[in-house]
Amino acid sequence: MSIKNLPQGVQDILPQECRVLWDVRERLTRAFEARGYAPVLSAAVEYYDTYAGIRNALPQERMFKFTDSDGRLLVLRPDATLSISRIAATKLPEPRARLYYFLDKWDAQSAGGGRTREIIQAGVERLGEEGAYSDAQTIAFAIDCMRETGLNDCILDVGHVGYMKGLLEECGLSDAQAEEVRASLNAKDGLNAERLLRGAGAGEETLSAVRALPTLFGGAEVFARAGRLTANARALAALAHLEKVHRILADMGYEKSVCFDLGTGKSLSYYSGIVFSGLVKEVGAPVLSGGRYDTLADDFGKHIPAVGFAIGLKRVLVALERQGNLPPQPASDVAVCCEEGAEGEADCLIKRFIAEGKRTTLAAEYGKDALKGVAAAEKYFVGKGGAEKL
């Protein structure tokens, strides 16, 4: 085992890449602040029990765990939304809040295939609000944020967990069976879903709807097709909600950036309404992911309906690079060197340039040679008699 190497699935971010990452963070911070979101940070380490007992918990094999000095089990932040929901339910004075964060999360399992175990993300949560208008605003803002990072041709793929849940609730599946069916449908594997449902004694009407489910994606035309497939009240309510969201988004001018998929059923069980993914064709996995989670905070003792999303910043960087949209790496505007005894003069000169908003470099050695190989638009040498431009 070499001491130079990192464990699988984590990375150092070197200066060139880090500068782009920070640039993206700055753009997003401006966008979040402009929309009135307030920043929040959650502790990186929490008690395992906080998440083990609740029904929305992540699978324990995906959490990084270690023991505290008193023997209690700790986890490294497995999910930002869970932490913020806990904060909202237990610490915020008002149930309403619009928050943004730059919080990394850790997933013990997902290394390999371009996925990392340390996930650098930015996100927003809108706590204490409900309804199609809130959902539509969140989706529109998600698109704005993706564009703000510098990405072109962003698509937001929107679904609603209620449609699939409605179709399945008539079959009387156990939780485990329903999860297996959901996983199959999420993979658009209609055949396996049909096999499982047949085994559970599902009716012919449900089966034909489930057969069609993997094909129910595209533009707003899918609503009519989806509506004809079922009479289930929950599924139809989900459709009506999505149509309303679509109407609002069209009115706000976002129609071209949105598509719909009624066959999505995200694996995170806390989603309760709309779910969405931000896509760009240069990256084979979503760069943004979010949805509505109205009952998540119930587990922490307060009912706070909420909606939010997170942006995977590493994936954004990959997409920016592939789109050729990386911001240029700035060199120094000005570099200054001096002779021994003129350090004070050189320092004054540098500070003057900094006050002008310039990016500066002050050489650590004396003499004009000190600036050899330093990239800068202008170079100055400060002698005891004064400064000269090189």
Region binding other proteins by CB under 8 A among candidate stretches 43-51, 169-177, 185-193, 300-308: 185-193
Q: Does 256 engage in binding with other proteins (CB under 8 A)?
A: no
CA distances from 57 to 43, 86, 126, 252, 336 (A): 18, 12, 21, 36, 56
Q: Does 99 engage in binding with other proteins (CB under 8 A)?
A: no
How far, in Å, CA of 166 to CA of 206, rounded?
10
Specify the residue, 50 or 110, whose C-beta has the smaller distance to other proteins.
110
Specify the residue, 261 or 345, whose C-beta has the smaller distance to other proteins.
261
Q: Does 181 engage in binding with other proteins (CB under 8 A)?
A: no
CA distances from 17 to 4, 20, 269, 280, 321 (A): 20, 5, 34, 20, 10
Token representation of residue 378: 């202008």
Number of residues that bind other proteins (CB under 8 A): 21
Q: Which of residues 24-83 bind other proteins (CB under 8 A)?
A: none
Q: Does 159 engage in binding with other proteins (CB under 8 A)?
A: no
Q: Does 155 engage in binding with other proteins (CB under 8 A)?
A: yes
How far, in Å, CA of 64 to CA of 50, rounded?
14
How far, in Å, CA of 308 to CA of 163, rounded?
20
Buried b (16+ CB within 10 A) or exposed e, 12-50: eeeeeeeebbebbeebbeebbeeeebeebebeeebebeb
Specify the residue, 109 or 295, whose C-beta has the smaller distance to other proteins.
109
Specify the residue, 284 or 386, whose C-beta has the smaller distance to other proteins.
284
Buried b (16+ CB within 10 A) or exposed e, 255-274: eebbbbbbbbbbebbbbbbb
Q: Is 74 helix (H, G, I), strand (E, B) or coil?
A: strand
Q: Is 97 helix (H, G, I), strand (E, B) or coil?
A: strand
Q: How far is the CB of 254 from other proteins (least distance, A)?
A: 16
Specify the residue, 16 or 267, whose C-beta has the smaller distance to other proteins.
267
Q: How far is the CB of 259 from other proteins (least distance, A)?
A: 6
Q: How far is the CB of 258 from other proteins (least distance, A)?
A: 11
- Paired with 121 in beta bridges are 312
Q: Does 218 engage in binding with other proteins (CB under 8 A)?
A: yes
Q: Does 225 engage in binding with other proteins (CB under 8 A)?
A: no
Q: Which of residues 267-296 bind other proteins (CB under 8 A)?
A: 279-281, 283-286
Q: Does 333 engage in binding with other proteins (CB under 8 A)?
A: no
Region binding other proteins by CB under 8 A among candidate stretches 62-70, 125-133, 152-160, 323-331: 152-160
Specify the residue, 284 or 344, whose C-beta has the smaller distance to other proteins.
284
DSSP 225-246: HHHHT---HHHHHHHHHHHHHH
With contact defined as beta carbons under 8 Å apart, do 328 and 302 qualify? no
Specify the residue, 179 or 333, whose C-beta has the smaller distance to other proteins.
179
Amino acid residing at 66 = F
Region binding other proteins by CB under 8 A among candidate stretches 181-189, 226-234, 289-297, 348-356: 181-189
Q: Does 113 engage in binding with other proteins (CB under 8 A)?
A: yes
Token representation of residue 208: 């034909």
Specify the residue, 80 or 280, whose C-beta has the smaller distance to other proteins.
280
Q: Does 259 engage in binding with other proteins (CB under 8 A)?
A: yes
Binding site for other proteins (CB under 8 A): 113-114, 153, 155, 157, 187-189, 191, 214, 217-218, 259, 261, 279-281, 283-286
